[in-house]
Amino acid sequence: MDWSSRLLRTTAFRLSLSYLIIFTASAVTLIAVIYLTSNALVERQIMETIAAEIRGLSDQYRERGLVGLAELIHERGGNQPGRQSLYLLTGEDDRPIAGNLSVWPRDVIESEGWLRVPVRGQRGVDAIARWQSLPGGYRLLVGRSLHDVREVQRAVTRAMFLGLAATVVLGIVGSFVMSRQILQRIEGVNASIRRITRGEISQRLPRNGSDDEFDQLVANVNAMLDQIERLIDSIRAVSDNIAHDLRTPLHRLRSRIDVALMGDDAGELRATLEQTLAEADNLLATFNALLTIARAEAGARLGEFGSVDLAVVAHDVCELYEPLAEDRGVHLTCAVAAPLPVSGDRHLLSQALANLLDNAAKYTPPGGRVGVEVDPRRREVVVWDTGPGVPAEAREKVLERFSRLDATRSTPGNGLGLSLVAAVARLHDARLLLEDNQPGLRVRLVFPEA
Partner 1 sequence: MRILLVEDDAEAASYIAKGLQEVGHVVDHVGNGRDGLFMAMSERYDMMILDRMLPHVDGLSIVKAIRADNNATPVLVLSALGNVDDRVNGLRAGGDDYLVKPFAFAELLARVEALGRRGTGEAAEATVLRVEDLELDRLARRVTRAGKSIELQPREFRLLEYMLRNSGRVVTRTMLLENVWDYHFDPQTNLIDVHISRLRQKIDKGFERPLIHTVRGAGYRLGLE
Q: Single out the residue of 161, 178, 164, 165 nearest to residue 17, CA to CA.
A: 178
Considering the complex, state which of residue 101 and residue 421 has its C-beta at the smaller distance from partner 1.
421
81: Cβ–Cβ under 8 A, 6 or more apart, which residues?
Answer: 100, 101, 102
The minimum distance between CB 351 and partner 1, in angstroms, equals: 5
* Contact (CB, 8 A) for 101 and 86: yes
Q: Is the peptide bond before 323 cis (omega within 30 degrees of 0)?
A: no
Asked if 44 touches partner 1 (CB under 8 A), the answer is: no
The minimum distance between CB 450 and partner 1, in angstroms, equals: 23
Asked if 364 touches partner 1 (CB under 8 A), the answer is: no
* Contact region with partner 1 (CB under 8 A), list: 194-202, 233-241, 315-323, 332-340: 315-323
| Neighbour count for residue 159 (Cβ, 10 Å) | 10
Considering the complex, state which of residue 116 and residue 295 has its C-beta at the smaller distance from partner 1.
295
Site for partner 1 in 372-431 (CB under 8 A): 412-414, 417
Which of 15, 42, 182, 320 lies at the binding interface for partner 1 (CB under 8 A)?
A: 320
* Contact (CB, 8 A) for 286 and 246: yes
* Contact (CB, 8 A) for 87 and 70: no
Asked if 306 touches partner 1 (CB under 8 A), the answer is: no
Considering the complex, state which of residue 243 and residue 302 has its C-beta at the smaller distance from partner 1.
302
Count of residues interacting with partner 1 (CB under 8 A) = 28
List of long-range contacts for 161-165, beta carbons under 8 Å, 24+ apart: 161/31, 164/24, 164/27, 164/28, 164/31
Which of 16, 85, 175, 350 lies at the binding interface for partner 1 (CB under 8 A)?
A: 350
Considering the complex, state which of residue 72 and residue 348 has its C-beta at the smaller distance from partner 1.
348
Beta bridge partners of residue 308, listed in sequence order: 342
Distance between CA atoms of residues 129 and 101, nearest Å: 12
Site for partner 1 in 233-292 (CB under 8 A): 284-285, 288, 291-292
Asked if 36 touches partner 1 (CB under 8 A), the answer is: no
CA 390-396-397 angle, 5° bins: 80
The minimum distance between CB 365 and partner 1, in angstroms, equals: 16
According to DSSP, residue 247 is labeled: H
Asked if 361 touches partner 1 (CB under 8 A), the answer is: yes
Site for partner 1 in 53-82 (CB under 8 A): none
* Contact (CB, 8 A) for 382 and 372: yes
Considering the complex, state which of residue 304 and residue 449 has its C-beta at the smaller distance from partner 1.
304
Residues that bind partner 1 (CB under 8 A): 284-285, 288, 291-292, 295, 302-303, 316, 319-321, 323-324, 327, 345, 347, 350-351, 354-355, 358, 361-362, 412-414, 417
